A = this chain, B = another copy of it.
Amino acid sequence: MKIHLINPNTTASMTKKIGEAAEQVASSSTKIVATNPTSGPVSIESHFDEAISAVGVLDEIRRNPDADAYIVACFGDPGLMAARELTQSPVIGIAEAAFHLATLISTRFSIVTTLGRTGIIAEHLLQSYGFSHHCRKIRAAEIPVLDLEDNSELALNKIVEECLLAKAEDDIGAIVLGCGGMADLTDEISKRVGLPVIEGVTAAVKLAESLVSLGLKTSKFGDLAYPLPKHFTGTYEYLSNK
């Protein structure tokens, strides 16, 4: 089984880190391939970054059509629905993955993310997926995403601090980490905070393996069918198939 993990931003060190986190939890028979688009933002911290990154996600899927499942490893799940149209192999977003698993081991959770301004993205996803009432609060450690690479100790401390506030104040049973770049910190945070901590990259790996081993593929009947063949112009002419 081959799972293609796509880091939607273009920071290779983060891709490597995420890939390693994925490998650590993958089954022995699962091959993890972690890539990032060559084109796009070095981090994703806004709707704008997300919109641009979605094209990179879709390109990666098209360039690597033979995976058994795909993971979109940014907490805003950029391009997820479009990705599902492109392939019959399951595609999992790390936000949805984390939400799903969190509801299986707790009744209510809080999210701890990087920047407060991205909270609205999570809020929209919670509503669309159906988990709004499972999430007590979206909290931000107010650290730029790339600080998870460059100032990881400081970043970790701020995240832990926010998690401890969530534990004390939010009436929750678990924490969801709101950024793929935190994938390597899960165990440490959980230890320091004393709560189950659900992180999306690792969660998504297991959900992807689950679907593949059950033979469940994205439905091609109805609204996730392959995109209709059509002409694209300019930069995107390579997407034309008509």
**Among B40, B81, B124, B228, which residue has its beta carbon within 8 angstroms of that of A236?**
B40
Determine whether A52 belongs to the interface, using a CB cutoff of 8 Å to chain B: yes
Q: Name the distance in Å between A2's Cβ and chain B's nearest Cβ.
A: 17
Determine whether A13 belongs to the interface, using a CB cutoff of 8 Å to chain B: no
**Among B25, B47, B194, which residue has its beta carbon within 8 angstroms of that of A213?**
B25
Known: A42-B231, A48-B58. A127 touches B133 (CB 8 A): yes
Closest to A146 in B: B230
Q: Name the distance in Å between A95's Cβ and chain B's nearest Cβ.
A: 12
Contact partners of A41 in chain B: CB under 8 A? 230-233, 236, 239
Determine whether A90 belongs to the interface, using a CB cutoff of 8 Å to chain B: yes
A interface, CB within 8 angstroms of B: 10, 25, 27, 37-43, 45-52, 54-55, 58, 79, 81-82, 84-86, 90, 92, 96, 100-101, 103-108, 116-120, 124, 127-134, 144, 167, 171-174, 187, 194-196, 198, 202-203, 206-207, 209-211, 213-219, 221-225, 227-228, 230-237, 239
